[in-house]
């Protein structure tokens, strides 16, 4: 299975900060990568697909970049509603796998 | 706007089976791929398997092969996940999600990018004696 390793695992930041989360993949995934935000008690919510394409309706402060083996999710100016756990997911090879998550706390 | 509505929480004893449902509202299944994802408490999501509602073709993670069955009832616009021989390790929230797709042309042909959106609200399955 393709392994995804996110860093950091935990992040505490203030409103207005620029935040970057990294996802390192163990094999080439041809940019078949998605990012999700999951708030407590909710289902994951799609932010980015194809490594850098913003899902419709997602605020422009979110962006994705990179290519194998390292991808990044950036929040340009952190907002109070951006708390939760962020996951990357590879959709290149079955079984589709997720990173271990980055928990983001708003100070 | 498509929404996926999942069945309610379940409590099961070890060794039992559970059947979860995922109903599409605002849309009639034609040829979508619906995925199932399990998330154990405090853990990352884990892909279980998927079904194409048009062909009925299924694909499972090797971990869940033989333990899980995904089916569709197109008349009910509902996809089901059955998990058998439950153990405490099967405790968690089970989500269904729709596969979205985009074709991107490249010199050698095209890339078919996919993603999971929208998701159902999740069903909590608790396995306990």
- At residue B15 the predicted structure's pLDDT band, cuts being 50, 70 and 90, is very high
Tally C-beta pairs within 8 A across A and B.
64
Residue B1: the pLDDT is: 76
CB atoms B111 and A30 under 8 Å? yes
Distance of residue B118 Cα from the nearest chain A Cα, in angstroms: 8
Enumerate the residues of chain A whose CB falls inside 8 A of the CB of residue B115.
Answer: 34, 46, 49-50, 55, 91
CB atoms A50 and B104 under 8 Å? yes
Buried b (16+ CB within 10 A) or exposed e, A28-48: ebbbbbbbbbbeeeebbbbbb
Tell me if B33 sits within 8 A of B99, measured CB to CB.
Answer: yes
pLDDT above 90: residue B27 = no
SS3 A80: helix
The mean of the pLDDT values for chain B is 96
Higher pLDDT, A37 or B107: A37
Q: What is the pLDDT of residues B45-63, one digit of tens each?
A: 999 999 999 999 999 999 9
Residue B100: the pLDDT is: 95
pLDDT beneath 50: ranges in chain A: none
């Amino acid at each position: 299975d393709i392994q995804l390793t996110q860093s950091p695992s935990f992040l505490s930041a203030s409103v207005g900060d620029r935040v970057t989360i990294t996802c390192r993949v163990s094999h080439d995934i041809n940019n078949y990568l998605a990012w999700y935000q999951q708030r407590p008690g909710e289902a994951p919510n799609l932010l980015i697909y194809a490594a850098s394409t913003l899902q419709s309706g997602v605020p422009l402060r979110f962006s994705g970049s990179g290519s194998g083996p390292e991808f990044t999710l950036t929040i340009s100016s952190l907002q109070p509603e951006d708390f939760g756990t962020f996951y990357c997911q590879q959709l290149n090879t079955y079984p589709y796998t997720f990173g271990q998550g980055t928990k983001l706390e708003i100070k | 706007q498509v929404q996926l509505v999942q069945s309610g929480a379940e409590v099961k004893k070890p060794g039992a089976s559970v059947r979860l449902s995922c109903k599409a509202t605002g849309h009639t299944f034609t040829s979508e791929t619906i995925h199932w994802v399990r998330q154990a408490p405090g853990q990352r999501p884990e892909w279980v398997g998927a079904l194409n509602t048009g062909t009925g073709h299924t694909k499972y993670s090797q971990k869940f092969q033989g333990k899980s069955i995904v089916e569709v009832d197109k008349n009910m616009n509902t996809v089901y996940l059955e998990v058998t021989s439950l153990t405490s390790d099967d405790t968690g929230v089970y989500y269904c999600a729709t596969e979205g797709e985009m074709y991107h042309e490249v010199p050698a042909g095209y890339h078919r990018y996919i993603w999971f959106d929208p998701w159902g609200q999740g069903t909590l399955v608790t396995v306990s004696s």
